[in-house]
């Protein structure tokens, strides 16, 4: 890494991250890489020129618009890694809570130079993650009462998957695969390579018998074949409402779960969920979530 030597992640912040199901070491690595990106070409010249070396300040991270919070302790960790023990961090809100306009979620106090150097990285992370959580909550609210859950995908920003999927959980969604090894998802290219759905399912079962298995289907005939092959979960790719209902009728007697995917929009979410599917797969949760606007204000 090309940046300066940062301070280690403080134990109390590591505990907060761990309590949220995050690996503190992985979060710290993301933060260090982001900070190094900002300082790869030298120090923060604007801050160094305008802020006296001994100056100290207190600042607040404040939402400019309502939403759902995610990444508040991550932002706190950014300030701590830049300023070390000389920065005091106070969390006012927990991830998953509502972000209230102009109500501080985080206060930091310490050397002004450290605070301003950390500002943009902290806001980038908490703003993006809160945006993911906010969009997820909209989808969760849209399918309320149907029994269906909103699930994410692997359409994540490289390097941020763990944090983005954490933000989905903060918004009330559930995670699908974290990586390629924790579950098998047989898609059209796998079917073509294996010579059919049944052949693909048999191949996965033979080599990885304990791995959860899902098959993507484009037609009702493929759904019937996947069910006959003994899969636990079928992904319905771009099915109409009528065909989705028909797939539910096929799957329910066999105890097979269904996941709707492709072409889903918020205004159609409840209608799709009401067909009886178990999940809605929504790649937009992570690849298209608008950033929640938060600012950092020195007092």
Residues assigned a catalytic role: 120, 155, 187, 216, 237
The DSSP string of 150-214 is: EE--S---TT-HHHHHHHHHHTT-B---SSSSSSEEE-HHHHHHHTSHHHHHHHHHHH-TTS-EE
Q: Which of 289, 298, 297, 292 is nearest to 132 (CA)?
A: 289
Burial string for 86-99 (b: 16+ CB within 10 Å, else e) reads: ebebebebebbeeb
Q: Both ends of the chain: CA-CA distance in Å?
A: 33
**Whether the Cβ atoms of residue 89 and residue 104 lie closer than 8 Å to each other:** no
287 Cα distance to chain centroid: 9
Q: Which of 168, 74, 82, 68 is nearest to 122 (CA)?
A: 74
Which run of H or of E encompasses 271? helix 266-273
Tokens (6 digits) for 212? 């959860």
Tokens (6 digits) for 250? 């096929």
Give the count of beta carbons closer than 10 Å to the beta carbon of residue 83: 22
């Amino acid at each position: 890494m090309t940046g300066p030597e940062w301070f280690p992640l403080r134990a109390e912040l590591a505990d907060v991250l761990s309590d949220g199901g995050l690996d503190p070491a992985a979060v710290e690595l993301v933060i260090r890489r982001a900070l190094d990106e900002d300082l790869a070409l030298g120090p923060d010249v604007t801050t160094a020129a305008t802020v006296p070396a001994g100056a100290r300040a207190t600042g607040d991270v404040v939402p400019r618009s309502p939403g759902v919070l995610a990444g508040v302790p991550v932002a706190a960790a950014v300030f701590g890694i830049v300023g070390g023990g000389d920065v005091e961090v106070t969390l006012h809100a927990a991830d998953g809570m509502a972000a209230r306009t102009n109500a501080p979620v985080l206060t930091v106090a310490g050397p002004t130079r450290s605070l301003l150097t950390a500002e943009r990285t902290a806001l980038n992370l908490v703003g993006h993650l809160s945006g993911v959580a906010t969009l997820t909550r909209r989808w969760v609210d849209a399918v309320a009462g149907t029994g269906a859950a909103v699930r994410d995908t692997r359409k994540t920003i490289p390097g941020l998957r763990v944090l983005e999927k954490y933000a989905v959980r903060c918004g009330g969604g559930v995670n699908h695969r974290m990586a390629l090894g924790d579950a098998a998802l047989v898609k059209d290219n796998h079917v073509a390579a294996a010579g059919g759905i049944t052949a693909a399912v048999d191949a996965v079962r033979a080599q990885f018998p304990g791995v959860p298995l899902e098959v993507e289907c484009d037609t009702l005939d493929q759904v019937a074949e996947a069910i006959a092959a003994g899969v636990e979960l079928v992904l319905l790719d771009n099915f109409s409402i009528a065909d989705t209902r028909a797939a539910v009728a096929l799957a329910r007697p066999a105890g097979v779960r269904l996941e709707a995917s492709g072409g889903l929009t918020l205004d159609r979410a409840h209608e799709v969920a009401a067909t009886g599917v178990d999940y809605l797969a929504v790649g937009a949760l992570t690849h298209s979530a608008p950033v929640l606007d938060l600012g950092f204000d020195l007092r």
